[in-house]
Amino acid sequence: MRYMIRYSEIGLKSRPVRTRMVNLLKRNILDHLETAGMAGKVRSDGGHLYLLTDEPADRILERTFGIRSFSMTEDTSDDPEEISKLALEMSADFDGPFAVRARRTGTHDYTSMELAARIGADIVEEHGLKVDLTNPNDILYIEVRGNQSYLYTDKVDGLGGYPLGSQKQLAALINDDNGLAAAWMMMRRGCPVVAFGEAGRAEPLRAWDRRLRIEEGGIEEAEAMVRKGKAKGLVLGKTSQNVKAVTGISTDIPVYTPLISVDDPEAVLMRVMDPPVLP
């Protein structure tokens, strides 16, 4: 199985930071594969990641922070003849109007529009289908990157955010469902968390971070960790409705309340409690 993996926010960083984050994302993908008892190889071409594995890895990628989207691909050279052969095979099951979307990176004897038009014409001739660029039933995507071409028919949304571990560690108070959701939101922003709270309440987060550290104690212990410099801030599950109820916390440490910007904390919680099932 071959996958093309896209990231978004990582690509906005400076080259050194982007390189560090991409390498971390690669490591996190491989960690999830290992947890599932799978093996794979991940490489980068400077714009995307590519995963090669013997088994379907959709569920792995769906639970990895930092991925914007991914696609299972079929690969060939940048030769239009070879691209056409593969495109005709992949479009054999199209059952209605279709479109071809082509993109290129590198130097070629054709433009993206010329390639899309040629492949579309070949599909029309071979399968007798109609083209509809506005509302197609099926879309064939072609990405030519250097001397390689990647063809796919579907894009699967990822979690977005930053790779876990790319930001500093935080202490999270998880004494209710909102605390659990808030901790997950900060993990999505790349922050590993140390979970404080009732025994067992933070366990759902382990599906998203197999290295999750859980400590006994409450807000005093969590605040103490921040003061000792072992965490860079405190995460609380306060919402816009109850943020004024934050009491008993010194104002000289960073406090993060990500649920303030969320209209429906329950939707976040449902995502936390229902991670993609690993193979």
**Domain range for 104:** 75-152
Q: What percent of the chain has pLDDT over 90?
A: 83
148 in the same domain as 176: no
192 in the same domain as 119: no
Residue 63 within any structural domain of the chain: yes
User: Considering 106, 124, 152, which residue would you say is the last residue of a domain?
Assistant: 152
User: Considering 13, 44, 68, which residue would you say is the last residue of a domain?
Assistant: 68
Tell me the per-residue pLDDT of 205-258, one tens digit each, with 9 for 90 and over: 999 998 999 998 998 999 999 999 999 999 999 875 554 555 555 568 899 999
Q: What is the CATH number of the domain that holds 41?
A: 3.30.70.1510
| pLDDT value of residue 239 | 74
Determine the 3-state secondary structure of 42 from DSSP: strand
114 in the same domain as 138: yes
Tell me the per-residue pLDDT of 164-200, one tens digit each, with 9 for 90 and over: 999 999 999 999 999 999 999 999 999 999 999 987 8
Smallest CA-to-CA distance from 200 within 185, 192, 212, 191 is with 212
The one-letter amino acid code at 69 reads: S
Q: Note whether 249 and 256 are within 8 A (CB).
A: no
